[in-house]
Structure 1
Amino acid sequence: MANQSPRLDQIFAALADPTRRAIVMRLCAGEASVGELADPFDMALPSFMKHIHVLETSGLVQSEKAGRVRTCRLSPDALLGAEDWFQQQRAIWEARLDRFEAYVMKLKKEKERAAAKRPSRTTKRKGAE
Structure 2
Amino acid sequence: MFSEYINNKNNVLKLEVLFMKVLMVCSGGMSSAIVVEAIKKEAEKENFKLEIKAVGTSEFYDEIKQNEYDLALVAPQVRHRLKDFKEQGEEFKLQVETIEPMGYTPLGGARVLKQIKKYCK
Range class of TM-score, shorter chain: under 0.3
Rg (Cα) greater in structure: 1
State the TM-score, normalizing by the size of structure 2. Answer: 0.24
Which protein is richer in helix relative to its size?
Answer: 1
